[in-house]
């Protein structure tokens, strides 16, 4: 693997835009690398592998392929990585796998940063293992001390405990020390500052006590504190890592490639290597990779991802196209006008970055708790130490009591309160097909009181469906089906499908020709027949999505289409309304289409013909009314609105930029789980708050005991374990 040659992922605080624009970053990374293309490994996604036989079949088939050195299936990730000679490409291997019965999709290795190893997770796991090992051994010795070991035996046990604890903490406590240090350097307080202080002070006083044959040493409490806190950190990390790798997988399945025409020959190149002036070929069904001008060919373009319009737009030479549009009928040659840094994709990144900075201002519950907790604990410890010093004039006693206060108040339960609940909640939502990308997404989702839906591609599938199919004369439908059979235009496919559903067999039409951008034409019983645009067949252009059928010498027949409802759309709208949310429909589509659609779903708050900026403004207007809005959208025109919203969801079919901008990605086709997401988020936040209350209750009981100087190491260990376990169990109650 050559992943070390890719630039390190910039961290979120240094470069928020980099973090939210993986596509743009990948393009830049690839552009700098075009001399050394990644030939080490080909990654293929295999959604269907599931058994031992699958593994051997796939590996054997690939090993037999000429030029392949080795292949290894990863069943957990449902991927295979292939090491092969430089001239073997993914396109060669996909048919090989299809021949043995497995569908494979190429993946872009540069989009997968965490594929090889999750280094940070491993590190945390090792620290956790060391802390666990040390805690078990020290506890064993401590039980002997608690049950009455005295004098030399007690001192020996304390010394052994110290010998185990100090190196163990030096290794496993590093994440806390580092985070505390960086917070202090910037003049801030976070949860790790009291943790670090407690650990260091407890170690120091325990060591001093041990050296002076003292009775109380807190080695056991210190190390088990570290262990519990690391467990919380690791849970937190796992949740994030799973979400991140699933999001990366979605991105990696869109390999940025283009077919460049050079001297009449086609060659497949990385989108990053395109420069203005190049001519590329975009086939029907393909997405425009860059901004450009059509040089040759006529076709129709689906711009719904950019504007939300469902009506395909006619395309002819000289017309400008922008990245993200989908070519529908005929092949197009496009002269590139802007690529990489200058393209609309990159401009979108700036827009997202701007909106992102407002979202970063959200303080999570954990941060708010830490903001109250950290100063409170420090004040308590100082007051206890000073008070006891003036009462007894004994520094050693005063410090011991301060250490006991810090240990007992230390936020084991607080450190577990949030991660344990979010792990449980995101696992639950993941099983329902939802991917939580952002740590605070659940909390923000729990607060929403209004939801704004985009129409095309979100509540609908963006695929048309014939309207009133049973009211159309059977012979017209049969003829239309005959004409549309050969075409892959979405309207033709909808016609053919409607005919199949109504069991109308298609008429035989001769001399079929598809005229890109207009429709299909043929001969039927000696007459010329056409199916296509209104103007082409000599009819009046209407406002809805429609196709006309014209038989020579007869009045044209109209077929109207509507956008197909996404499965679960009605459930999602009803469920959200039942949860007490206001439902809005904000679409870029024309007014009649949007109004008809809103009626169908029973949505009364409707905005139509909204430009991208208007969508975002509308959301801002709603939030300045004191509402917290959940935006659900999929297109480039929704991206600004998705970032401006309090929380946001997009389907997996959404554009890269829209998925990146949203907090939650819906993996399946069904949109119904959105309602569940809101209720789950609400109950998760309720659990988190309960956990905080439980942790506070323990402190209210334990702190006076510690300040009174009555806390023993046994009491500290009991309080800490009991509160951590109660909090974890409470998190598991999440329904």
Pick the catalytic residue: 454, 563, 656, 676?
454
Token code pair at residue 208: 């001093």
Q: Which is nearer to another protein, 141 or 707 (CB)?
A: 141
574 classed as catalytic: no
Contact 214, 394 (CB under 8 A): no
* Those residues with Cβ within 8 angstroms of residue 415's Cβ, 6 or more apart along the chain or in another chain: 191, 195, 228, 229, 232, 233
Three-class secondary structure of residue 311 per DSSP = coil
Q: What are the distances in angstroms from CA 201 to CA 223, 406, 706?
A: 13, 8, 15
The footprint of another protein on residues 31-60 (CB under 8 A) is: 51-53, 55-56
Q: Which of 11, 70, 213, 488 binds another protein (CB under 8 A)?
A: 70
d(CA 609, CA 590): 5
Residue 621 makes contact with another protein by CB under 8 A: no
Q: Which of 5, 9, 103, 153 binds another protein (CB under 8 A)?
A: 153
Nearest distance from C-beta of residue 144 to another protein, angstroms: 9
Q: Closest CB to another protein among 26 and 79? A: 79
Nearest to 373, CA basis, from 335, 332, 338, 406: 406
Smallest separation (angstroms) from another protein to the CB of 56: 5
Nearer to another protein, 123 or 320 (CB): 123
State the nearest-atom distance from the C-beta of 721 to another protein, in Å: 20
Q: Tell me the window of 12-20, 74-82, 86-94, 631-639 that interacts with another protein (CB under 8 A).
A: 74-82
- Reading the block at residue 264, the tokens are 């009449």
Cross-sheet strand order for the sheet of 582-586? 434-436, 664-666, 647-651, 629-632, 450-453, 582-586, 605-607
76 lines the binding site for another protein (CB under 8 A): yes
Is 100 an interacting residue with respect to another protein (CB under 8 A)? no
Strands, E, within 263-380: which ranges? 265-270, 279-282, 291-296, 299-302, 313-315, 320-321, 326-327, 332-338
Are 258 and 280 a contacting pair, CB within 8 Å?
A: yes
* Residue closer to another protein (CB basis): 24 or 124: 124
Verify binding: residue 117, another protein, rule CB under 8 A.
yes
Q: Does 125 bind another protein (CB under 8 A)?
A: yes
Nearer to another protein, 77 or 279 (CB): 77
Stretch that binds another protein, among 135-143, 328-336, 349-357, 537-545 (CB under 8 A): 135-143
- Is residue 9 involved in binding another protein (CB under 8 A)? no
Could you tell me which stretch among 121-129, 353-361, 382-390, 405-413 binds another protein (CB under 8 A)?
A: 121-129
d(CA 506, CA 268): 38
> Exposed, middle or buried by CB within 10 Å (0-12, 13-18, 19+), for 692?
buried
**Minimum distance from residue 431 beta carbon to another protein (Å):** 16
> With respect to another protein, which residue has the nearer C-beta, 231 or 734?
231
Q: What residues from 468 to 497 belong to the interface with another protein (CB under 8 A)?
A: none
Task: Tell me how far, at minimum, the Cβ of 136 lies from another protein, in Å.
Answer: 7
Nearest-approach distance from CB 470 to another protein, in angstroms: 48
Q: Strands 527-532 and 279-282, how do they pair?
A: unpaired
Q: How far apart are CA 543 and CA 532, in angstroms?
A: 15
CA 262/CA 280 separation, integer angstroms: 9
The nearest distance, CB 407 to another protein, in angstroms, is 24
Site for another protein in 575-594 (CB under 8 A): none
Q: List own/partner pairs for 155-161 with CB under 8 A and 24 or more apart.
A: 155/210, 155/213, 158/206, 158/209, 158/210, 158/217, 158/219, 159/210, 161/217, 161/219, 161/220
Q: Which is nearer to another protein, 78 or 558 (CB)?
A: 78
Is residue 13 near another protein by the rule CB under 8 A? no
**125/722 with CB nearer another protein:** 125
Structure tokens at 25: 């970053």
Measured between alpha carbons, how far apart are the two ends of the chain, in Å? 42
**In terms of CB distance, is 125 or 715 closer to another protein?**
125
DSSP 174-219: HHHHHHHHHHHHTT---THHHHHHHHHHHHHHHHHHHHTT-S---H
Smallest separation (angstroms) from another protein to the CB of 72: 8
Candidate list 130, 401, 504, 665; residue touching another protein; CB under 8 A: 130
Which of the residues 15 through 34 are near another protein (CB under 8 A)? Answer: none
Interface residues for another protein in 430-449 (CB under 8 A)? none
CB of 54 to another protein, least distance (A): 8
Ramachandran angles phi, psi of 453, nearest 5°: -105, 145
Task: Return the structure tokens found at 279.
Answer: 């001519």
Q: Which of 29, 31, 77, 189 binds another protein (CB under 8 A)?
A: 77
Say if CB 306 and CB 611 are below 8 A apart. no
Quick check: 143 binds another protein (CB under 8 A)? no
Farthest CA pair distance, the chain: 115
Instruction: Confirm or reject binding of residue 137 to another protein (CB under 8 A).
Output: yes
Burial class (CB in 10 A: 0-12, 13-18, 19+), 471: exposed
Q: Which residues are catalytic?
A: 454
List residues near another protein by CB under 8 A.
Answer: 51-53, 55-56, 70, 72-77, 117, 122, 125-126, 129-130, 133, 136-137, 140-141, 153, 160, 164
């Amino acid at each position: 693997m050559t992943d070390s040659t890719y630039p390190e992922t910039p961290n979120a605080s240094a470069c928020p835009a980099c973090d939210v624009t993986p596509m743009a970053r990948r393009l830049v990374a690839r552009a700098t690398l075009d001399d050394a293309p990644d030939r080490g490994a080909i990654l293929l996604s295999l959604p269907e592998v599931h058994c031992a036989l699958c593994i051997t079949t796939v590996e054997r088939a690939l090993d037999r392929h000429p030029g392949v050195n080795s292949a290894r299936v990863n069943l957990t990730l449902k991927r295979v990585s292939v090491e092969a000679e430089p001239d073997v490409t993914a396109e060669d291997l996909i048919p090989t796998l299809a021949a043995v019965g497995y569908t494979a999709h190429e993946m872009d290795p540069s989009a997968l940063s965490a594929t090889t190893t999750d280094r940070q997770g491993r590190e945390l796991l090792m620290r956790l293992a060391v802390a666990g090992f040390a805690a078990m051994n020290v506890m064993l010795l401590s039980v002997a001390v608690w049950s009455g070991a005295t004098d030399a035996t007690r001192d020996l046990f304390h010394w052994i405990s110290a010998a185990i604890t100090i190196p163990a903490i030096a290794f496993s406590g590093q994440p806390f020390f580092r985070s505390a240090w960086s917070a202090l350097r910037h003049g801030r307080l976070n949860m790790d500052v009291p943790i670090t202080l407690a650990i260091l002070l407890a170690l120091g006083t325990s060591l001093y006590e041990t050296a002076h044959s003292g009775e109380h040493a807190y080695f056991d409490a210190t190390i088990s504190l570290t262990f519990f806190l690391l467990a919380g950190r690791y849970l937190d990390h796992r949740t994030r890592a799973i979400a991140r790798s699933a999001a990366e997988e979605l991105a990696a399945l869109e390999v940025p490639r283009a077919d460049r025409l050079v001297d009449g020959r086609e060659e497949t190149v990385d989108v990053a290597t395109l420069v203005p002036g190049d001519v590329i070929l975009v086939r029907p069904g393909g997405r425009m990779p860059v901004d450009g001008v059509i040089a040759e060919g006529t076709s129709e373009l689906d711009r719904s991802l950019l504007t939300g319009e469902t009506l395909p737009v006619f395309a002819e030479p000289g017309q400008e196209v922008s990245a993200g549009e989908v070519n529908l009928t005929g092949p197009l040659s496009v002269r590139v006008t802007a690529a990489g840094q200058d393209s609309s994709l990159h401009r979108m990144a700036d827009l997202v970055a701007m909106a992102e900075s407002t979202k970063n201002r959200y303080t999570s519950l954990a941060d708010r708790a830490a903001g109250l907790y950290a100063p409170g604990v420090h004040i308590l410890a100082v007051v206890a130490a000073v008070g006891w010093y003036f009462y007894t004039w004994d520094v050693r006693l005063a410090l011991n009591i301060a250490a006991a206060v810090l240990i007992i108040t230390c936020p084991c339960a607080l450190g577990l309160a949030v991660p344990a609940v979010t792990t449980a909640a995101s696992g639950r939502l993941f099983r329902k097909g939802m991917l939580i990308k952002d740590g605070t997404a659940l909390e923000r989702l729990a607060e929403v009181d209004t939801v704004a839906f985009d129409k095309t591609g979100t509540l609908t599938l963006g695929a048309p469906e014939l309207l009133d199919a049973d009211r159309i004369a059977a012979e017209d439908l049969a003829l239309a089906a005959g004409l549309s059979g050969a075409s892959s235009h979405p309207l033709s496919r909808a016609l053919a499908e409607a005919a199949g559903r109504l069991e109308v067999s298609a008429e035989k039409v001769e001399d079929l020709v598809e005229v890109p951008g207009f429709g299909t034409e043929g001969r039927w019983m000696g007459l010329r027949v056409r199916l296509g645009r209104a103007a082409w067949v000599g009819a009046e252009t209407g406002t809805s999505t429609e196709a006309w059928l014209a038989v020579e010498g007869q009045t044209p027949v109209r077929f109207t289409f509507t956008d197909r409802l996404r499965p679960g759309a009605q459930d999602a709208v009803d469920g959200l309304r039942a949860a007490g949310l206001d439902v809005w429909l904000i679409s870029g589509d024309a007014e009649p289409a949007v109004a008809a659609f809103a009626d169908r779903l029973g949505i009364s708050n409707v905005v139509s013909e909204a430009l991208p900026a208007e969508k975002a403004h509308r959301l801002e207007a709603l939030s300045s009314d004191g509402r917290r809005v959940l935006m659900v959208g999929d297109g480039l025109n929704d991206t600004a609105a998705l970032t401006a919203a309090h929380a946001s969801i997009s389907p997996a079919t959404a554009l890269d930029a829209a998925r990146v901008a949203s907090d939650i990605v819906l993996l399946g086709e069904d949109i119904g789980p959105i309602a569940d997401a809101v209720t789950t988020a609400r109950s998760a936040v309720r659990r988190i708050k309960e956990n905080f209350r439980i942790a506070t209750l323990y402190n209210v009981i334990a702190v006076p005991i510690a300040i009174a100087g009555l806390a023993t190491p046994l009491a500290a260990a009991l309080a800490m374990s009991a509160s951590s376990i109660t909090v974890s169990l409470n998190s598991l109650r999440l329904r």
